[in-house]
Amino acid sequence: MAQKVSPSMQSLKSLPADYRFDGENSSFGLTNSSIPRQGGLRNGVSQADTAAGDSDDSPYSSRHGVSVEEQSLTDDVEPGAATMPLPQNDERRWSDTSAYARKKILQSWVQLPNGNWELGKILSTSGEESVISLPEGKVMKVISETLVPANPDILDGVDDLMQLSYLNEPSVLYNLNYRYNQDMIYTKAGPVLVAVNPFKEVPLYGNRYIEAYRKKSNESPHVYAIADTAIREMIRDEVNQSIIISGESGAGKTETAKIAMQYLAALGGGSGIEYEILKTNPILEAFGNAKTLRNDNSSRFGKLIEIHFSESGKISGAQVQTFLLEKSRVVQCAEGERSYHIFYQLCAGASPALREKLNLTSAHEYKYLGQSNCYSINGVDDAERFHSVKVILSFTRRLSYSSSLLISEFYFVSLSIDLKTLMLQEALDIVHVSKEDQESVFAMLAAVLWLGNVSFTVIDNENHVEPVADESLSTVAKLIGCNINELKLSLSKRNMRVGKDTIVQKLTLPQAIDARDALAKSVYSCLFDWLVEQINESLAVGKRRTGRSISILDIYGFESFDKNSFEQFCINYANERLQQHFNRHLFKLEQEEYIQDGIDWTRVDFEDNQDCLSLFEKKPLGLLSLLDEESTFPNGTDLTLANKLKQHLHSNSCFRGDREKLFTVVHYAGEVTYDTTGFLEKNRDLLHLDSIQLLSSCSCHLPRAFASSMLIQSEKPVVGPLYKAGGADSQRLSVATKFKGQLFQLMQRLGNTTPHFIRCIKPNNVQSPGLYEQGLVLQQLRCCGVLEVVRISRSGFPTRVSHQKFARRYGFLLVENIADKDPLSVSVAILHQFNILPEMYQVGYTKLFFRTGQIGVLEDTRNRTLHGILRVQSSFRGYQARCHLKKLKMGISILQSFVRGDKVRKEFAELRRRHRAAATIQSQVKSKIARKQYKGITEASLVIQSAIRGWLVRRCSGDIGWLKSGGTKTNESGEVLVKASVLSDLQRRVLKSEAALREKEEENDILQQRLQQYENRWSEYETKMKSMEEIWQKQMRSLQSSLSIAKKSLAVEDSARNSDASVNASDATDWDSSSNQFKSQASNGGGGRQQQQPMSAGLSVIGRLAEEFEQRAQVFGDDAKFLVEVKSGQVEANLNPERELRRLKQMFETWKKDYGGRLRETKMILSKLGSEESGGSMEKVKRKWWGRRNSTRY
C-alpha cells in the first residue's frame, strides 16, 4: 500500500542531524558540523523562469497552458512571490533564497536538528530569525537563511521538474514522493527521464499505452515517450540514436530497457525480426543475471543492443554486445547471493530424461551453488521460470514471426500453453541452435557444476595433490568428452617451458583449486560468448542495414557493498565513464556550444568527475596502469598492489589509502572502499596452456570451439609489459585492459549518436513497494546531477538548428520571395513572420537557439502546410487517375461492343443456319405428309371408282339378263341386238372417261406445279415485305430518336401544315391510281399472262412504297439537321426553329399514320389476290371434272 504524502513531509529524512549544506564550497556538499547562524542552505533555491512552452515533437513537453508563475499566484503565494527577476550572474547556486523571497513566501521547508525536512508556515520574521509553525502545532524559532522556499500546492505532483517555481532538494524529493505514491513512477527533469522503481506491477504498459504514445495522445513522462522521440528523430534527422539507461543496482535498468525495446518493436515491427530481438532477453537474463544482496535480478554483465532499421523505419536486424561478465560468480558467491539463474533453473526444471543424461542432482548437492546458502528467490519459481522461457521462445518460432500481435498479448498467450509438455531445448531454437549444440550447452553447464565438486587428495609431503577419481571427476570427463586421465593431469600438473625444455610442475592444493576454478570460469565465459555470437548471427542473417540504428545501453549500475572487489572496481569505473559522457553531453558541450556561437549565456557550474577518471586512466601512475604493471610480476601479490597504489596515489584528492589491502576512491556517487584481495588473479584471468589443450582434445565440438577462441585471443598484440611465464598465459591481455578498450569503443560509438538519458532511481534497499527512503533517493539524485540538468534546461536553449537547415526546412512558409537572400536573413524573416518573441530565441554565429517548445509552433505550421500540399497533390493525382480510368472504361466499352457485336453476329448466323435447316426439314416433312395424304385420297378414289364401276357393271349386267330372259318369251333375236349396242356404247364411254380422267390428272399435276410456284413467289413476297417492314421500323425509330433529340434541343412547334397536306394529297393520288390499276389487273381473267400481271403490279407498288420511304426519311432528316444548325447558330435563316420543329413533327406523325395504313392495305390486297388465284383455279377444275363424270353417268 502506497504511503500518503502529508503536507509536512515528516518522513523526509534525507540527512543526519549534524550535517548542513555548504552552498559556496561545493555543489550539494555536506559538511559535518552543527547548524550555524550564517550557515545552512545559503544558495539553495533557484528562481523559476517563465514556463516553458509545449513542444509537440518532444516527449519532454507538457500540456499546461499557464506558466508556473501564473499558477503560483492563484493559491498559497502572495502576489509578487513568483515575479522575481532572473539572476544575471551565477555566484549563488540557489539565488531565489533572497530576503525578498523570505518575506513573501508563507510556506518554507525547514530542516530540523534530527535532519528531517518539514513544511512549516512563517508566523513572523524579526531580524535574522523567523518563527515557524509546524503541522503538529509546534512553534520553533529558526535562522531565516536556513529556510528553503516551498512551492504552492497547485504544483504538487507536476510531471516535469522544470515547472517547479522553486527548484530545491526538498521540493524535488517531495514531488517525486508525491508521484511515486500515486504509481506515477516517471518524471521529467528537462531532457532526462527519472524512473523510480515501484517494485511491483503498475498499469502503465500494454497495447493501449503504446498506441496512445504512438499517436501522441498521451504526453505524460514515460519510457515509451523516450523511445518514440528516438525513432522519430532517427527518421527525421537521419542520425543514429542511443538510449542510455543508468542507475544503481536494483533501480530497474533491465526492465526499463525491455520496455523501450517493446515500444521500438511495436513501432518498427512487421518483418518478424522484432520478436527475435525481444525473445533473446530471457536467454541473456538466464545466463547473465543473478541474485545479489540489493537486487534479485541483477545484470552481471553490460549489454548494448544496437537495433538497425530500414529506410521505411522497420526493424531490419540487431546486434548484441556484452561487457565484462562477472566470471568469479560462477565459483564464488557471497552469503545471501546466488550464482547465475540458469544453474538453479536447470536443476529445478530439467526433464527426467535430461536429468539422467547429465547426471543432475538438486542444487544443494553442488558446492559452487551451496557456498552462499541461498538457493531460491522469494516469489520466484525457478522451474516455472525455466519452462516459461522455453514456452515463450518456442511459441515465438511457431508464430512464424506474425506481426499482428503486440508484446503484452503475445506474452500472456504464450503462457497459456501447457508448460509440462515442452523441453528446454526449444528455448534455443530462436537463435537457430541445432539439437546437437543444445545438448552440448546443457552438458557444459552440468560440467561446470560438477567441476565444483571435484576434490583433491595430498600425495606427498610437499602438499602436492591430485584429483580424487570419484563420480564428479568421471562425470566432468564424460560431459566435456575428454579422457579422465588427461583431465586429472591438467588439474594436478602444469607444463612450464624454459627455453627449449618443458618442465612438469606439480600443483599444491591452492594451485589445483585455482586451476579447477579457472577452467570452470573459462568454460562458462566462453559458453556465454558463444551464445551471444549465435544470437547475433540469428539477428543479422539476411538483414539489410541502412546505417540507421537505435542503441539501448543496459549496463551495471554503481555498486558499493561492505566488501568491494575487482568486479565492483571495474563496474564503478564504467559508471564513471558513463557519467562523464552524461556530463559532457548535458553540461560541457551544451555550454561550450553557447559560448562558441556567441550567444548571451551565463555558465552553470556542475559536478565534474574528470579527476576521478584521471585517477583510473592516467599513465603511468593510474589505477589501471599500476594494476596491469603489478599483474606482470610473477611475485606480485594483492598486498604489494595495495602498497604500490598508496605509494604513488596518496596525493590524489580522489584516492585515500586505508589499512592493509584496502583503499578508497571518491566516485561521483560517493566513496567506495575496495579490498585488493583477488585483484591480481582476476585481472590476469589465468587459464594455463594445459587446460586449453585439454579442451582442444575433447570429442565434443563446443570445448574445441572454446579452445580455438582462447588461442585466437591470445595471439592478439599486447600493449604494455608482460611477464615471461611461457604458454598462452603470457600472451593474454589483462581483464582491466580489455575492459578499458571495450569501454572506449562503447564511448566512441555513443559519441556518434544522439543520446537520450533515463535515470533509474531505487527508492529503498529492501525492494519493498511503497517505501520511499528520501536519503537514498537524494543521494542518487545528487550523483546523476538532476538539479543541474533542470537548471540548464530552464535557462538554456535545448533546441538548436543551423541557419542553412532552418532556412531549408521552413523557408517555403515565407510569404515573400527568398530566392536571393542568405540563410541568416531567411531565418530572421521566418522568426519575424511567426512573431516569435525575442526572449524565446537567440541568433548565433552558425545556429539558431530556441527555448523549449518554440520550434513546435513552426513544426505545426510546416506540417499543416505540407499536409495541405499533399491534399492538393492527392486531389490532382486523383483527378488524373479518374480521367485515365474514364478513358480506359471508354476504350473497354468500345472493345466490348465490338466483341459483343461479333459474338451476336456469329450467333445470328448460326441461328439463321439453324432456321433454314429447320425450314428445309419442315418442308420435307410437310411434302411427305402431303404425298401420303394424296396417295390415300388417290387410293380412296380408286376404291370408290371401282365400287361405282362395279355397281354400274352389275346393274348393266342385271338389265341385260332381264332383257335376255324377257326376250326369249317374245322376240328373242331383236332384244339381243339392242343390248349389245348398249354394251358397246357403255364400253366406249368408259374408255373415254378413263382418257378424260388421265387428262384431268395431268392437268391437275400442272395446276399443282403452278400452285407450288405461286406459293414460293408468295413466300418471297412475304419475306420482302417483312424485311421492308423491319427496315422501315428501324428507320422510323431512328427518325423518332432524331426528332426527340431535336425536340429537346429546340422545343419548337411545327407550322408546316399546308405543305404537308399537299404532299399527302399527291401521295394519296399516286396510291389510288396504283391501287386501281392493280385491282383492274387482278380482275382480268385467265391464262398464264393474266396470272403474271397481278404479281408484277404488286411488286411495282411495293417498290414505290420503299422509294417513298427512303425519300421521306431523307427529307425529314435534312429538315431536322437544318433546324439544329439554325438553333446552334451555325446557319443563318429568317425563321423560328422551335415553331418549324413542331410543324415538322406534325408532318412526320401524319405521314407516318398514312404510310402505315397504305402498307397494311397493300398487304391485304396481295393476300387476297393470292388466295383468289389459287382457290379459283382449283374450283374450276373440280367443277369441270364432276360435270363430265355426271354427264357420262347420265
- Is residue 714 classed as helix, strand or coil in its secondary structure? helix
311 vs 493, 546, 1142, CA distance in Å? 58, 7, 72
According to DSSP, residue 464 is labeled: B
Only one residue has cell 571427476, namely 473
Angstrom distances, CA of residue 1123 to CA of 420, 546, 1137, 1146: 95, 73, 6, 15
Could you give the 3-state DSSP secondary structure of residue 29? coil
Buried b (16+ CB within 10 A) or exposed e, 220-252: bbbbbbbbbbbbbbbeeeeebbbbbbbbbbbbb
Q: Parallel, antiparallel, or unpaired for β 94-95 and 44-47?
A: parallel
Q: Find, among 1091, 1062, 1096, 1063, the residue nearest to 1077 by Cα.
A: 1096
Question: CA torsion angle for 373, 377, 381, 385 (degrees, to 10)?
Answer: -110
Grid coordinates belonging to 818:
527568398
What CA–CA distance (Å, rounded) separates 257 from 303? Answer: 10
Please say whether the beta carbons of 957 and 964 come within 8 A: no
Q: Is 847 helix (H, G, I), strand (E, B) or coil?
A: strand
CA angle (128 as vertex; 127, 132 as ends), nearest 5? 100
Peptide bond into 620 cis (omega under 30): yes
How crowded is the C-beta side of 1027, counted as CA atoms within 13 Å? Answer: 8
Query: Could you give the residue numbers annotated as active site?
Result: 249-250, 254, 295, 298-299, 557, 559
156 and 180 in contact (C-beta within 8 Å)? no
Taking CA atoms, 109 is separated from 84, 484, 760, 846, 1136, in Å, by 19, 72, 26, 44, 103
Residue type, 394: S
Q: Which residues pair with 299 in a beta bridge?
A: 289
C-alpha cell of residue 224: 515509451
CA-based nearest residue to 575, from 591, 560, 592, 590: 560
Per DSSP, the chain holds a count of helices (H) and strands (E) of: 36, 29
First to last CA, the chain: 145
Amino acid in the structure at residue 966 = G
Spatial contact of 393 and 427, defined as CB atoms under 8 Å apart:
yes
> How far is 250 from 293, CA to CA, in rounded Å?
9
Please state, in angstroms and rounded to a whole number, the distance separating the CA atoms of residues 783 and 802: 33
Contact call for residues 671 and 659 (beta carbons, < 8 A): no
All residues at 6 or more sequence positions from 412 whose CB lies less than 8 Å from its CB, including other chains: none
Count CA atoms within 13 Å of residue 480 on its CB side: 35
Q: What is the DSSP string of 886-926?
A: HHHHHHHHHHHHHHHHHHHHHHHHHHHHHHHHHHHHHHHHH
- Grid coordinates representing 898 are 465490338
Q: Can you say whether the dihedral through the CA atoms of 894, 896, 899, 901 is positive or negative? A: negative
- Coil vs helix vs strand at 296: coil
Spatial contact of 240 and 754, defined as CB atoms under 8 Å apart: yes
| Residues making up the chain, counted from first to last | 1194
* Sign of torsion over alpha carbons 796, 799, 803, 806: negative
